[in-house]
Amino acid sequence: MFSKIIATGSYLPENIVTNRDLEQQIDTTDEWIRSRTGIEQRRIASIDQNTSDLAYEAANRAIDKAEIAAESIDLIIVGTCTPDVVTPNVGTIIQERLGIKNSAAFSVEAACSGFIYAMNIADKFIRSRDASCALVVGADTLSRITDWTDRNTCVLFADGAGAAILQPSDTPGILSSELGADGAYGDLLYVPYGTSRKPEQPKPDDYCLHMKGNEVFKVAVKTLESITLEALAKQNMNINDIDWLIPHQANTRIIHSVAKRLGIPIEKVIITLSHHGNTSAASIPLALDEGIDSGKIESGDTILMLGFGAGFTWGTMIIKL
Which residues are known to be catalytic? Answer: 112, 248, 278
Element (H, E) at 302: strand 302-309
Distance CA 69, CA 163 (A): 16
Distance CA 140, CA 43 (A): 11
Kindly state the DSSP code that residue 283 receives in the 8-state scheme.
H
**H-type alpha helices, the chain:** 19-23, 30-37, 51-66, 90-98, 114-127, 151-154, 213-234, 252-262, 283-293
Distance CA 108, CA 79 (A): 5
Reduce the DSSP state of residue 311 to 3 states and report it: coil
Pairing of strands 2-11, 210-211: unpaired
Distance CA 308, CA 238 (A): 21
Distance CA 290, CA 8 (A): 9
SS3 content of the chain, % helix, strand, coil (to 5): 40, 25, 35
Distances (CA, A) of 78 to 31, 137, 138, 185, 197: 35, 5, 6, 24, 24
Distances (CA, A) of 274 to 24, 58, 121, 235, 271: 20, 20, 30, 32, 8
Distance CA 121, CA 214 (A): 32
Element (H, E) at 140: strand 134-141
